Structure 1
Amino acid sequence: MWIRSLHTYGRLIKFSHTIFALPFALSAALLAHRQTPLTARTLLWIILAMAGARSAAMGFNRLVDRRFDALNPRTASRPSVTGEISVRAMGLLVLLSSALFVLSAAMLGDLCLKLSLPCLMVLFFYSYTKRFTAGSHLVLGFAIGLAPVGAWIAVTGSLDGRILLLSAALMTYIAGFDILYACQDVDFDTSAGLHSLPSRWGLTRALAFSSALHVLTVLALAAMGLAFHLGGLFFALLALISGLLLVEHRMVRPDRLEAIPVAFFHVNSVVSVLLFVAVWLDLRLS
């Protein structure tokens, strides 16, 4: 019974999608290890903070968007819509996940604790942005892009401007593939009065902008590699990441939107993990 419940909650918050941002945060922690030793305790609290923040944000999104999700054929089977998970249970999930995030931040130091509530506010704010701006994809990118900064501060207790390059890479990476994902809902968003770049600009221009964002992702990662004096192995794997992003954008076209699920999850999960491997191997072998 409890296994079924865990599976249902996992479907609600798409826990598997943690694979997109967590490797970026862990990469930041590894880079910070050059300056301040990364302990197993700190690593554990970083992972718990990521899990708490993401679960809180996704739970809140499902809670406030359930009216729209019920009308959208693609999302009508979500547990938040079908009644598998009640409104009260979703509220409790958001509360407990937020508490886990704040507790984890407190265990990571005073600065992390001070930044935890503003971070949650940004994450929650995103859920309302589709109601009034087509730039919601960029807001999502900014919110998730805070993860590497948080991981760096968790290890070092301070901020280094170089880590902002990794945050910029994550921001543009997330925003770019969120635009791809939104292409599935262009007709519904238009009819429901929701805002997105595909519904505002059309599929062709939105896909082109997504491609441009992912070019910026690669450039930001390259700049980060130079700033942290990473070696040839990192840049070789970055070339592979660039190739995967190119494949993603070759897969998804206005007349081939059925490729979005594969491009969204499978390609992007490989990209994220490959980035972590690139940083880890380069630091370990240098």
Structure 2
Amino acid sequence: MSAAESPRPNRLRLMLEMIRFSHTIFALPFACLALLMAMQLPASDGDRVAVGWPALAGLLLCMVFARSTAMAFNRLVDQRYDAENPRTAGRHLPAGLLSRSEVTAFALVCAAGFVGSCALFLPNWLPLAGSLPVLAFLCGYSLAKRFTSAAHLWLGVALSLAPICVWLAIRGSSVIAAPADLLPALVLAAAVALWVTGFDIIYACQDEAFDRQAGLQSVPARLGAAGALRLAAVCHLGMLVCLLLLPLTASGLGWGVVYYASVALIAGLLIYEHRLVRPDDLQRVNTAFFNINAIISILLLVAAGIDSWLI
């Protein structure tokens, strides 16, 4: 079969590759951890929250649609920069594997899917009321590097919305009755925000020269790779502090040895992650970014689940 006669690549598969659908694993375990916590603690009426299949389906759909919308929007607005950057020139839009109209349609469908999924939680109106502001914040990250070097923190906060939104979707009435009920989710969200900020700074070190040349305000472009890696280490230290404080935010969690052992392991993994990357050697950034961070998120969820089961 000649090249002209070869079958057209599957468009959905190309879309999923473009948005790196497999990377959903970074945020999903923290959303599941928030769900576990929300179900474990008593609600405002003293009973534990019962979560049915419609709510579980709604949470999963919201996670998938929100991230897909934000990633598609990112590829659209960054197409010119991606084409100019040798590291990203092979991405789907610059390479012509997908058209702008296709990616735009995909983003709009995913945005509509996210809003529709938020409606599954009615009569709890909080998810639906917050759906458009959340989408706006998620998509805003793609523009942030044009005007602030805090873009990495913006991404961290964007991903940290996952545990907060899960909490509001499951325990909305308790939060309305007592806003302090949101504290465990906020501490978990702070851990996620610092974790993501740190590893996004590490990842951005690959583009230090390009960002500086293009006028993009990343932390590596501003501080250099060495300064950026030091800031990333501070962020990850802050993450560990938040994880240590998390069980103290609600006595009903009852997490103990297994959870704290996982935090110790996570500390070791973060140290290893930072030892993999040096200002003059960024060849192992992908190992640090993908493999280790996936292990960290899953490890924390599994440990908390075991401790919850042992109570």
TM-score (norm 2): 0.89
Q: Which runs of 5+ in 2 are unaligned?
A: 1-6, 43-48, 176-181
1:199 maps to 221
2:19 maps to 13
Aligned-CA RMSD value: 1.3
1:274 maps to 299
Instruction: Output aligned runs, 1:79-90, within 5 Å.
Output: 79-90=92-103
Which of 100, 103, 114 matches 2:116?
Answer: 103
CA shift in 2, pair 1:83/1:3, >3 Å: closer
Tell me if structure 1 keeps the 8 A contact 2:258–2:303: yes
Which of 57, 60, 70 matches 1:57?
Answer: 70
1:126 maps to 141
2:212 maps to 190
Mapped to 2, the partners of 1:32 and 1:232 lie a distance apart of 21
Partner amino acid, structure 1, of 2:22: S
Once the two structures are superposed, residues 188-211 of structure 1 have per-residue CA deviations (whole angstroms, 9 ceiling, x without a partner) of 101111110011001111101001
Tell me if structure 2 keeps the 8 A contact 1:123–1:143: yes
Instruction: Output aligned runs, 1:132-143, within 5 Å.
Output: 132-143=147-158
More helix by share: 1
Once the two structures are superposed, residues 135-169 of structure 1 have per-residue CA deviations (whole angstroms, 9 ceiling, x without a partner) of 10011111111110001111112432221000000
Task: For residue 29 of structure 1, give the secondary structure of its aligned residue in structure 2.
Answer: helix
Mapped to 1, the partners of 2:234 and 2:8 lie a distance apart of 44
2:261 maps to 236
Mapped to 2, the partners of 1:65 and 1:237 lie a distance apart of 37
Task: For residue 79 of structure 1, give the secondary structure of its aligned residue in structure 2.
Answer: coil
Task: For residue 257 of structure 1, give the secondary structure of its aligned residue in structure 2.
Answer: coil
- How far residue 4 of structure 1 moved from its aligned partner, in angstroms, is 3.3
2:84 maps to 71
Mapped to 2, the partners of 1:155 and 1:216 lie a distance apart of 27
Q: Percent identity?
A: 44
Tell me if structure 1 keeps the 8 A contact 2:183–2:249: no
Partner amino acid, structure 1, of 2:128: L
Task: For residue 283 of structure 2, give the secondary structure of its aligned residue in structure 1.
Answer: helix
- How far residue 3 of structure 1 moved from its aligned partner, in angstroms, is 7.5
Tell me if structure 2 keeps the 8 A contact 1:176–1:211: yes
Which of 158, 161, 176 matches 2:198?
Answer: 176
Task: For residue 183 of structure 2, give the secondary structure of its aligned residue in structure 1.
Answer: coil
Mapped to 1, the partners of 2:90 and 2:265 lie a distance apart of 36
**How many pairs align?**
286
- How far residue 257 of structure 1 moved from its aligned partner, in angstroms, is 0.3
Residue 166 (structure 2) pairs with residue 151 (structure 1)? yes
Mapped to 1, the partners of 2:135 and 2:265 lie a distance apart of 34
- How far residue 29 of structure 1 moved from its aligned partner, in angstroms, is 0.5
2:246 maps to 224
Residue 49 (structure 2) pairs with residue 31 (structure 1)? no
CA shift in 2, pair 1:3/1:237, >3 Å: farther
Once the two structures are superposed, residues 90-110 of structure 1 have per-residue CA deviations (whole angstroms, 9 ceiling, x without a partner) of 111110111111111111231
Tell me if structure 2 keeps the 8 A contact 1:32–1:38: no
Residue 174 (structure 2) pairs with residue 161 (structure 1)? no
- How far residue 247 of structure 1 moved from its aligned partner, in angstroms, is 0.7
Tell me which stretches of 4 or more aligned residues in structure 1 moved more than 3 Å. 1-4
CA shift in 2, pair 1:26/1:174, >3 Å: same
- How far residue 68 of structure 1 moved from its aligned partner, in angstroms, is 0.5
**Rg comparison, structure with higher value:** 2
- How far residue 253 of structure 1 moved from its aligned partner, in angstroms, is 0.8
- How far residue 124 of structure 1 moved from its aligned partner, in angstroms, is 1.1
Q: Which runs of 5+ in 1 are unaligned?
A: none
